[in-house]
Chains A and B, each alone.
Chain A
Amino acid sequence: MHEKVQNDGLILRVQNLKKYFPVERGIFRRVVDYVRAVDDISFDIRKGEIFALVGESGCGKTTTAKLVVRLLEPTDGKISFYGKDVSLMGRRELSQKIQIIFQDPFASLNPRLTIGTIVREAVRQRWEASGEKVKTKELRQEIEELLVQVGLPGDILDDYPHQFSGGQRQRIGIARALAMRPELIVADEPVSSLDISVQAQILNLLLDLRDSLGLSYLLIAHDLNVVRFLSDRVTVMYQGKIVEAGSVDAVYNSPQHFYTKRLLEAIPK
């Protein structure tokens, strides 16, 4: 088991992040208003921790996830990875530092590509980015290792996504993300679409990977039980703003903001 030191630097720092979507009207598409999806939020993630962003639909957590991975460009604000401004990094460089797992295991894998191709695209990318020459046999080996690492058999390279269950597809998605050897993984509702028994397996897997690979997670979720189990610190979002933040124990045991209280009360049982 590795020693995890939490105080050794902030792996991610988000400062005054804003994302406004313009609302256009009329045939000339005049901008009349803005949807303030993310409205001036700031938070830090320490290395090795699992940091959760919770809230209900429309609160801006998914938008934040996309901003961190730069699938969207912020309207304002700064995101830094170990102090380095993310907008100054090339797309390739960023993809080797931060990766993302998606919610819907059915939509996150290309239905027309084989599993081997899906994961190979990621591994190739990493090889090319680090200047290594692509060697077929080692490539295949690495793909198989990745699949085994997420709990799948290594011989599924020629199969297609539709042949697998939701939980298995989610594992493939995780393998793809791991192929880039990232240090931070943004997990956007990683278990929301899964059955309870599968959910437990994936949650265990995420924890195992965290320990064996020294990963940090930005967890986006709406299921407060999952968040409580998995995370170290949690931040509550509402309509684009942060309303409460703190360690999981603090927030769950003594919520301060009325919305947090409402959320916690609404958990059945």
Chain B
Amino acid sequence: MWKIFWRRFKRNRLALFGAVIILTLAVTAIIAPLIAPFDPNQQDILHRLEPPSAKHFLGTDDLGRDLLSRIIYGTRVSLLVGFVAVGIAIMIGTLLGLFSGYFGGRLDALIMRLVDIMLCFPTFFLILMVIAFLEPNIWNVMVVIGLTGWPGLTRLVRGECLSVREREFIQAAKALGLSNLRIMLVHLLPNVMAPILVAATLGIGGAILTESALSFLGLGVQPPTASWGNILTAGKDYITMAWWLSLYPGLAILITVLAYNLLGEGLRDVLDPRMMAE
């Protein structure tokens, strides 16, 4: 089963490309202390706003900190935010989608109305408001992004459930007398994985963008911790003098989000319905 998936996955250039980049980023994040040439928080006012050189590959920021090191450590923030935020969104979205799609009726109607309401809010402004009330830090950011990201997935999962629920193997499971919860989690869930996986990868890209935007506005990760978004905050003030402060973090965000999107699109191609056909 997975062998077929793997074979097809390998053939899909885009997905492969995305996967490679993401793997590289993940490794970078993990071994950051080993590869960063400088301590990202070490200030060196004498050498502030220096352009890229042999010593500082990407230059220094307004406090003399090495940009390359900060960007490398920023990878950690981005990946963490991506996984945790999307992890939360997926758990909520999948559970609600499963309950909604499996039981139908009033519960379904209720959950769907909830989804409709959530989708009416402009997510970003909702997050801004919430963060404004709470303290801006990485954990709050992750949780809030997660709590606002589940509605779309709920709909997708519910849709899949509706079609799978009537299939005979689910009827057979019911006839065995298995509890509804067990049927949902053990029998139904593996068959609705496809949209979840796709939504997850695309969602991570979105989460990273949101976090970057929040950090850029000063409402996300707070300095001195390096986040690509808050590097850009400093960058915007010196954009004419120190272009590297804006370019490189921007590129990092671009490449990362692109990689996730490519992976997500590739997954969408590779996964069903063709997988079912085989």
Q: Assess whether B42 is interfacial by the CB under 8 Å rule.
A: no
Chain B residues within an 8 Å CB radius of A173:
172
Chain B residues within an 8 Å CB radius of A99:
175-176
Chain A residues within an 8 Å CB radius of B193:
112
Chain A proximity of B166: nearest CB distance (Å): 10
> Which single member of A71, A100, A110, A176 contacts B187 (CB below 8 Å)?
A110
Chain B residues within an 8 Å CB radius of A90:
177
| Residues 66 to 111 of chain A near chain B (Cβ within 8 Å) | 66, 69, 71, 90-96, 99-100, 102-104, 107-111
User: Chain B, 146-161, contact with A by CB distance < 8 Å: what is the 0/1 string?
Assistant: 0000000000000000
Q: Assess whether A63 is interfacial by the CB under 8 Å rule.
A: no
Q: In the complex the two chains form, what is the Cα distance from A91 to B177 in whole Å?
A: 5
18 other A-B residue contacts (CB within 8 Å) besides A95-B175, A110-B191: A71-B174, A93-B177, A96-B177, A99-B175, A99-B176, A100-B172, A100-B175, A103-B168, A108-B168, A109-B172, A110-B187, A113-B190, A121-B186, A125-B178, A129-B177, A173-B172, A176-B172, A176-B176
> Which single member of A95, A104, A113, A160 contacts B176 (CB below 8 Å)?
A95
Q: Assess whether B26 is interfacial by the CB under 8 Å rule.
A: no
Q: In the complex the two chains form, what is the Cα distance from A103 to B178 in whole Å?
A: 21
Interface residue count on the A side (C-beta < 8 Å)? 32
Q: List 17 A-B contacts (CB under 8 A).
A: A71-B175, A90-B177, A95-B176, A96-B177, A100-B172, A103-B168, A107-B167, A107-B169, A110-B170, A110-B173, A110-B191, A111-B191, A111-B276, A118-B169, A121-B186, A125-B176, A160-B1
User: Chain A, 116-157, contact with B by CB distance < 8 Å: what is the 0/1 string?
Assistant: 001001100100010000000000000000000000000000
Chain A residues within an 8 Å CB radius of B172:
100, 102, 108-109, 173, 176
> Which single member of A96, A102, A118, A180 contacts B171 (CB below 8 Å)?
A102
Q: In the complex the two chains form, what is the Cα distance from A100 to B171 in whole Å?
A: 9
Q: Is the CB of B176 within 8 A of A108?
A: no
Q: Is the CB of A104 within 8 A of B168?
A: yes
Q: In the complex the two chains form, what is the Cα distance from A95 to B176 in whole Å?
A: 5
| Residues 1 to 30 of chain B near chain A (Cβ within 8 Å) | 1
Chain B residues within an 8 Å CB radius of A122:
176
> Do A107 and B168 form a contact, CB below 8 Å, given A121-B173, A125-B177, A125-B178?
yes
Q: Is the CB of B168 within 8 A of A102?
A: yes
Looking across the interface, which residue of chain B has its beta carbon closest to that of A96?
Answer: B177
Q: In the complex the two chains form, what is the Cα distance from A90 to B167 in whole Å?
A: 23
Chain B contact residues, majority secondary structure: helix
Interface residue count on the B side (C-beta < 8 Å)? 20
Chain B residues within an 8 Å CB radius of A93:
177
Q: In the complex the two chains form, what is the Cα distance from A122 to B190 in whole Å?
A: 18
Q: In the complex the two chains form, what is the Cα distance from A173 to B175 in whole Å?
A: 12
Q: Is the CB of B175 within 8 A of A69?
A: yes
Chain B proximity of A262: nearest CB distance (Å): 30
| Residues 248 to 278 of chain B near chain A (Cβ within 8 Å) | 276, 278
Chain B residues within an 8 Å CB radius of A180:
176-177
> Do A162 and B175 form a contact, CB below 8 Å, given A107-B168, A110-B190, A121-B186?
no
| Residues 217 to 255 of chain A near chain B (Cβ within 8 Å) | none
Looking across the interface, which residue of chain A has its beta carbon closest to that of B174?
Answer: A71
Chain A residues within an 8 Å CB radius of B173:
110, 121
Looking across the interface, which residue of chain B has its beta carbon closest to that of A102?
Answer: B168
Q: In the complex the two chains form, what is the Cα distance from A176 to B278 in whole Å?
A: 24
Q: In the complex the two chains form, what is the Cα distance from A95 to B177 in whole Å?
A: 5
Q: In the complex the two chains form, what is the Cα distance from A133 to B21 in whole Å?
A: 48
Looking across the interface, which residue of chain A has its beta carbon closest to that of B189?
Answer: A112
User: Chain B, 170-202, contact with A by CB distance < 8 Å: what is the 0/1 string?
Assistant: 111111111000000011001101000000000
> Which single member of A92, A103, A110, A118 contacts B177 (CB below 8 Å)?
A92
Chain A proximity of B173: nearest CB distance (Å): 7
Looking across the interface, which residue of chain B has its beta carbon closest to that of A160?
Answer: B1
Chain B proximity of A65: nearest CB distance (Å): 10
Looking across the interface, which residue of chain A has its beta carbon closest to that of B177?
Answer: A95
Q: In the complex the two chains form, what is the Cα distance from A257 to B174 in whole Å?
A: 37
Q: Is the CB of B175 within 8 A of A108?
A: no
Chain A proximity of B16: nearest CB distance (Å): 24
Q: Is the CB of B1 within 8 A of A121?
A: no
Q: In the complex the two chains form, what is the Cα distance from A94 to B174 in whole Å?
A: 11
Q: In the complex the two chains form, what is the Cα distance from A142 to B178 in whole Å?
A: 19
Chain A residues within an 8 Å CB radius of B278:
162
Q: Is the CB of B168 within 8 A of A112?
A: no
User: Chain A, 173-213, contact with B by CB distance < 8 Å: what is the 0/1 string?
Assistant: 10010001000000000000000000000000000000000
